[in-house]
């Protein structure tokens, strides 16, 4: 493999690692926020279960439980999306590493496996 090709692939790999770092940071932030909303939702749910007054239950559900549940579900979806992104970008790194290890020229690189 020509040195300029290897250098270009190494630079691309660094860019991808930078993207992966950003995804990892966002994942950790989202995971932390998800934990908070998990607690908020579960605490609210327990309070509702322990409350006898129907009007208070409705108010608590409207004011807290429904918004917390909605945010919790949004965060769960975000976590799934971030996990998928991590997986995809890691595939880039793995493929680049495989090409660099083999030292293949571009005519021999398979487009699909």
pTM higher than 0.95 for the full model? no
The structure tokens listed for 105 are 């020229």
The structure tokens listed for 21 are 């770092």
Task: Answer for the pair 51, 60: CB distance below 8 angstroms, yes or no.
Answer: yes
pLDDT for res 110: 54
Task: Answer for the pair 93, 12: CB distance below 8 angstroms, yes or no.
Answer: no
Asked whether residue 102 carries a pLDDT value surpassing 60, the answer given is yes
Measured CA to CA in angstroms, residue 64 lies from 73, 100, 113 at distances of: 14, 53, 49
pLDDT category at 1 given cuts 50, 70, 90 is: confident
Mean pLDDT for the chain overall: 91
Cα separation, 62 vs 14, in Å, equals 47
């Amino acid at each position: 493999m020509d040195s300029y090709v290897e250098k270009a692939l190494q630079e691309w790999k660094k860019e991808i690692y930078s993207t992966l770092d950003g995804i990892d940071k966002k994942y950790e932030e989202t995971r932390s926020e998800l934990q908070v909303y998990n607690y908020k939702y579960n605490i609210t749910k327990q309070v509702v279960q322990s409350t006898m007054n129907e009007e208070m239950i409705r108010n608590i559900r409207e004011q807290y439980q429904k918004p917390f549940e909605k945010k919790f579900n949004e965060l769960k979806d975000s976590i799934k999306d971030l996990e998928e992104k991590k997986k995809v970008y890691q595939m880039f790194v793995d493929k680049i590493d495989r090409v660099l290890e083999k030292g293949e020229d571009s005519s021999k690189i398979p487009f699909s496996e």
